[in-house]
Amino acid sequence: MSRSSMTGMLVAAGVLLGGCAGEGKRAPDDTLQTDAPMMEHEGMPGMGMGASGAMMGEMAAHMARMEGMRGDSLMARLPTHRQMAANMIAQMNREMREMDMDGDAAWNAAVDSLRDDLVRMPDMDSAELQAMMPEHRARMTRLMEMHRAMVEDMGM
């Protein structure tokens, strides 16, 4: 089995565990573990609450840096991107549980679409990855907007 296939399977398992952990059945840690330390931040104003606010700011900047990347550069950023995205989704889900919020059908569909992206990406060649990135970025942006709106509706 290739290294990218193994990495893809590990990320998929971590993402699925984070999303499938229900109340009382939560995975010990909803993030994926890597050798890189996860950054702890205060929330950024207007970006949601807690750690997800900072993660959303970092993700927006990261996605902007990736925009227009080609070939090897995009492929080289893929492991970091997949890790950041999986961590952000897990943090958003954690915060929603802490606020006793359930995701609606639109939220669940957005998360499922992004998880599918994260699972498929390692098997793509650079041209396929480059072609799917605008749609992936739109899905990432939509999820961040949905989370921000839900948090604001809760008065956070």
What integer best gives the mean pLDDT of the chain?
74
Q: Is the pLDDT of residue 126 over 80?
A: yes
Long-range contacts of 136-140 (CB under 8 A, 24+ apart): 137/63, 137/66, 137/67, 139/110, 139/113, 139/114, 140/59, 140/63, 140/85, 140/114
Ramachandran region of residue 41, left (φ > 0), alpha (ψ -120 to 50) or beta? Answer: beta
Ramachandran region of residue 70, left (φ > 0), alpha (ψ -120 to 50) or beta? Answer: beta
Q: Is the pLDDT of residue 29 over 70?
A: no
Q: Which sequence spans correspond to the domains of the chain?
A: 70-156
Exposure string over 28-44, b if 16+ CB within 10 A, otherwise e: eebbbeeeeeeeeeebe
pTM recorded for the entire structure: 0.66
Ramachandran region of residue 98, left (φ > 0), alpha (ψ -120 to 50) or beta? Answer: alpha
pLDDT tens digit sequence for 102-111: 888 999 999 9
CA-closest candidate to residue 85, choices 51, 58, 50, 47? 58
pLDDT tens digit sequence for 31-86: 333 333 333 333 333 334 567 788 888 998 999 998 888 888 999 999 999 999 99
